[in-house]
């Protein structure tokens, strides 16, 4: 029987947190995995492990192929982890990797996450070396598939909001959505107000694009996730991890 495109373009490695399969043309996360290093292992081990150990409900928003979700599940098998990945191809590997590692405490969603429910599209092109090229999963070209955000012209995706999940608890949220972090937080305000989870979010070189602002129904501009969190009472921001921030709500005695 002939192999499917996915089978032909799938490779696997063993890491400290388990077996990880991915598209062999994945040039970002895949490039690190091919060295035998679990993606973000240093960040997970040095900054997030203790948070995960003390969390009962975790959200992994922008889960990609599941590197963080798998590590969280191994670190704390008693936690309930909700993992969200909008790309169909990456969601395929997320599901595969959880099954291959016999992980049962992760609930997966093939959705984008934002501030209301609707159907949208991903970007059709990825920036690569200063220029854009169309995203293709089954070619011999290399892509940083983890760099794909919401936009225009790509795959149709359904967007949901965290507040609509009506969680009965939330201790830790990880957000890595290529510039749409602000939109995710807009849709999680009630959850954050209620539970005040520790929030680990990417804040690097990517901002909300005009297309992302249209999707979030806000005017185009520069939006810092910290502004929302400050309004919600968060008062401790650790930006020592390059390109990322750990935000927490700490009560200071006067």
The CATH number of whichever domain residue 54 belongs to comes to: 3.40.50.150
- Residue 132's pLDDT is 77
Mean pLDDT, range 238-245, rounded to an integer: 92
Mean pLDDT, range 92-97, rounded to an integer: 97
Q: Is residue 230 situated within a structural domain?
A: yes
- DSSP single-letter state for residue 46: I
Angle, helices 88-100/67-75, rounded to nearest 10 degrees:
30
- Residue 125's pLDDT is 86
Asked if residue 45 lies in contact with residue 51, where contact means CB atoms within 8 angstroms, the answer is: no
- Residue 2's pLDDT is 57
Which band of pLDDT confidence, cut at 50, 70 and 90, is reported for residue 229? very high
Q: What is the pLDDT of residues 173-198, one digit of tens each?
A: 999 999 999 999 999 999 999 999 99
Mean pLDDT, range 107-132, rounded to an integer: 88
- Residue 200's pLDDT is 98
- Residue 252's pLDDT is 62
Q: Is residue 23 situated within a structural domain?
A: no
- Residue 131's pLDDT is 64
Q: Is residue 194 situated within a structural domain?
A: yes
Q: Is residue 136 situated within a structural domain?
A: no
- pLDDT of 6 above 50: yes
Helix (H, G, I), strand (E, B) or coil at 80: strand
- pLDDT of 78 above 70: yes
Number of domains making up the chain: 1
Which band of pLDDT confidence, cut at 50, 70 and 90, is reported for residue 126? confident
Q: Is residue 13 situated within a structural domain?
A: no
Q: Is residue 131 situated within a structural domain?
A: no
How far apart, in whole angstroms, are the C-alpha atoms of residue 84 and residue 86?
A: 7
Mean pLDDT, range 196-223, rounded to an integer: 93
Q: How many residues does the chain have?
A: 254
Element (H, E) at 229: helix 225-231
Q: Is residue 3 situated within a structural domain?
A: no
- Residue 130's pLDDT is 60
Which band of pLDDT confidence, cut at 50, 70 and 90, is reported for residue 7? confident
Asked if residue 87 lies in contact with residue 122, where contact means CB atoms within 8 angstroms, the answer is: yes
- The token duo for 141 is 């070209």
Question: What is the span of the domain harbouring residue 104?
Answer: 39-121+155-248
How far apart, in whole angstroms, are the C-alpha atoms of residue 225 and residue 183?
A: 9
Q: Is residue 9 situated within a structural domain?
A: no
The mean pLDDT of the chain is 94
């Amino acid at each position: 029987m002939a192999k499917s495109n996915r089978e032909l373009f799938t490779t696997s490695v063993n890491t400290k947190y388990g077996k990880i399969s991915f598209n062999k043309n994945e040039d970002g996360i895949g490039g690190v995995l091919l060295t035998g290093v679990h993606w973000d292992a240093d960040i997970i081990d040095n900054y997030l492990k203790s948070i995960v150990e003390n969390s009962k409900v975790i959200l992994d928003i922008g889960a990609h192929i599941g590197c963080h979700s798998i590590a969280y599940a191994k670190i704390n098998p008693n936690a309930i982890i909700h993992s969200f990945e909008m790309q169909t191809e990456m969601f395929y590997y997320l599901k595969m990797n959880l099954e291959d590692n016999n992980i049962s405490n992760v609930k997966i969603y093939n959705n984008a996450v934002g501030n209301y429910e609707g159907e949208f599209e991903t970007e059709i092109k990825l920036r690569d070396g200063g220029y854009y090229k169309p995203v293709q999963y089954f070619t011999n070209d290399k892509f940083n598939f983890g760099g794909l955000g919401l936009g225009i012209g790509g795959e149709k995706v359904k967007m949901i909001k965290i507040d609509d999940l009506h969680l009965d608890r939330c201790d830790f949220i990880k957000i890595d959505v290529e510039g749409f972090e602000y939109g995710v937080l807009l849709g999680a305000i009630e959850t954050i107000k209620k539970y005040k989870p520790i929030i680990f979010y990417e804040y690097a070189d990517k901002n909300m694009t005009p297309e992302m602002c249209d999707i979030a129904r806000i005017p185009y501009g520069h939006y810092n996730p910290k502004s929302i969190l400050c309004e919600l009472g968060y008062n401790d921001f650790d930006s020592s991890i390059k390109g990322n921030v750990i935000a927490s709500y700490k009560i200071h005695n006067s």
